Amino acid sequence: MSKGLPKRSENYSEWYNELVKRADLAENSAVRGCMVIKPYGFAIWEKMQRALDDMFKATGHQNAYFPLFVPKSFLEKEEEHAEGFAKECAVVTHYRLKSNPDGKGLVVDENARLEEELIVRPTSETVIWNTYRNWIQSYRDLPILINQWCNVVRWEMRTRLFLRTAEFLWQEGHTAHATREEAIEETARMLGVYATFAEDWMALPVLQGAKTPNERFAGAEDTLCIEAMMQDGKALQAGTSHFLGQNFARSFDVQFTSREGKLEYAWATSWGLSTRMMGALVMAHSDDNGLVLPPKLAPIQVVVVPIFKTEEELAKISEKMVPVIDQLRAAGVSVKFDDDDNQRSGWKFAEYELKGVPVRLAIGMRDVESGTVEIARRDTLSKESKPLEGAAAHITELLDEIQANIYKRALDFRESNTFVVDTWEDFKTQIENGGFIVAHWDGTSETEEAIKAETKATIRCIPFNSVEQAGNCVFSGKPSSKRVIFARAY
């Protein structure tokens, strides 16, 4: 169980890999770079999906579904986009296997070669904009506000569970608008939805800002992002929202008649958030004992472990606990009552710690006599004895408190690991210790690339809340008007 989980301080990377596997979140599959998301991990992803989907619908979006395959010619149409994705894509060339004429097994049937190769979608801008051409004739057809939940494939060479996998699950929003302003507004709105989701649901504080041109999505005019800090001080890009201008409308000839009767190209946005967020969730909050899950995303929010020797004892404990459990469930709390007698309670305690269950209740015969229950918090690992009377209300409040505490802990961590740096010497020293560096940058790609080459740090974002301030680029010494965020990143 948690015995033998590597310590974060000793090997953060191993700790993560082991924790994802031992907590039953995911495992590597036999297919290179593809993962199996196990039921416990998938239950968390389902909660994420539900929360996001509700927010998408509340902001006027509808779900739809577009094909898995992208014809090669579609990918070619938007040049930057093609360049960005061509090098890492799964290519379907044939549509049939046949029995091996020279022996056992199956071989590709060369008579079933596709006239045009199909790419397994790495993202769906091309397929969707090719479809939108038929949907958009007039300004009255706009806006189109669509999202899809699906799988995508990017043939990454080095993969890690959740963080970087050849196949991953995500949602991708694709909207079309009559004006530039409306599309820019949508881009910002959806970044806001992601930030709210990260902070309110994942308990993950995020910086909001824009990417530098170097780091933009292939085909975008502007890429907004939310960036989070992991416990090793590295950054993780947690969601992106792109203003695509008229690039895809031009590539796929999507024109509409405006209110003024003119023919114009539609304006586009796209925005995505993936199972990568599962990795962020683990890396941001968990500890050497296992997962620490924010209550709002925990599949099991409260586990009850009865401590008993006989069936009679179990019956007495159940009698006391059932009303509490009923009250919790009535309040919408998911509760597991674990009366499995094949495992000792010590084993169970360790198991639920590993799985990150926010609140654990333990109750034995002494508690039954005194009318109390032991309440343990996963986030602080603290315990207290409380009267059964009123326990449900207390636990409901406690779940909110844990949610807030996990967020605050992550925010404190980020703040104490964010450094304002003004000299190149300080930059080089600081980046070795991890964290976010807030420094002036001269705005050129050359400087950005030189800094990356020397320190592996990238500009995570030009934060929205950055104030105008005259200064000098930390690398080149050239004038700069605002500070940006540098970090090493996942």
Q: Per CB under 8 A, does 175 bind its own copies?
A: no
Binding of its own copies by 357 (CB under 8 A): no
Question: Which residue type, as a one-letter code, is found at position 471?
Answer: G
* Residue 159: CB minimum distance to its own copies, A: 12
Site for its own copies contains 350 (CB under 8 A): no
The window from 98-106, 202-210, 220-228, 241-249 that contacts its own copies (CB under 8 A) reads 98-106
481: Cβ–Cβ under 8 A, 6 or more apart, which residues?
468, 469, 470, 471
Q: Are 326 and 310 in contact (CB under 8 A)?
A: no
Whole-number minimum distance, CB 260 to its own copies, in Å? 17
In whole angstroms, give the CA distance from residue 370 to residue 373.
Answer: 9
Is there binding between residue 130 and its own copies (CB under 8 A)?
yes
For tokens 């919790």, name the residue: 328
Q: Which of 108, 331, 381, 450 binds its own copies (CB under 8 A)?
A: 108
Cβ of residue 465: shortest distance to its own copies, in angstroms?
36
Residue 68 as a binder of its own copies (CB under 8 A): the answer is yes
The answer to the question of residue 131 lying near its own copies (CB under 8 A) is yes
Quote the least distance from Cβ 435 to its own copies, whole Å.
34
CA distances from 140 to 135, 291, 344, 423 (A): 11, 49, 65, 54
With CB under 8 A as the contact rule, which of the stretches 26-34, 243-251, 280-288, 418-426 interacts with its own copies?
26-34
- Minimum Å gap between C-beta 297 and its own copies is 15
Contacts (CB under 8 A) with its own copies, residues 457-476: none
- CB-CB contact of 247 with 221 (8 Å): yes
Give the number of C-alpha atoms closer than 13 A to the C-alpha of residue 388, restricted to the C-beta side. 22
Is 329 one of the binding residues for its own copies (CB under 8 A)? Answer: no
Q: Which of 90, 314, 404, 411 binds its own copies (CB under 8 A)?
A: 90
When asked if residue 70 is in the footprint of its own copies (CB under 8 A), the reply is yes
**Is residue 37 a contact residue for its own copies (CB under 8 A)?**
yes
Strand arrangement, sheet containing 335-337: 335-337, 302-306, 359-363, 372-377, 383-387
Angle at 290 between CA 285 and CA 293, to 5 degrees: 45
- If DSSP codes are grouped into helix, strand and coil, which group holds residue 203? coil
User: 14, 60, 87, 400: which one contacts its own copies (CB under 8 A)?
Assistant: 87
Instruction: Identify the residue whose tokens are 């996998």.
Output: 165
Of the pair 275, 458, the CB lying nearest its own copies is at 275
Of residues 183-222, which lie at the interface with its own copies (CB under 8 A)? Answer: none
**Residues present in the chain in total:** 490
Q: For residue 46, how many other CB atoms are within 10 A of its CB?
A: 13
Q: Which residue, 357, 367, 417, is CA-closest to 391?
A: 367
Specify the residue, 73 or 380, whose C-beta has the smaller distance to its own copies.
Answer: 73
Work out whether 421 is an interface residue with its own copies (CB under 8 A): no
Residue of 39, 346, 371, 390 interacting with its own copies (CB under 8 A): 39
| 267 SS3 class | strand
CA-based nearest residue to 176, from 258, 267, 66, 271: 267
Can residue 138 be called a binding residue for its own copies (CB under 8 A)?
A: no
Asked if residue 143 has a cis previous peptide bond (ω within 30° of 0), the answer is yes
- How far does CA 264 lie from the centroid of its chain? 36
Q: Residue 347, interface with its own copies (CB under 8 A)?
A: no
Contacting residues toward its own copies, per CB under 8 A = 27, 29-31, 34-39, 42-43, 45-46, 62-76, 82, 86-99, 104-106, 108, 117-120, 127, 130-131, 134, 140, 146, 150-151, 153, 155, 167, 169, 342
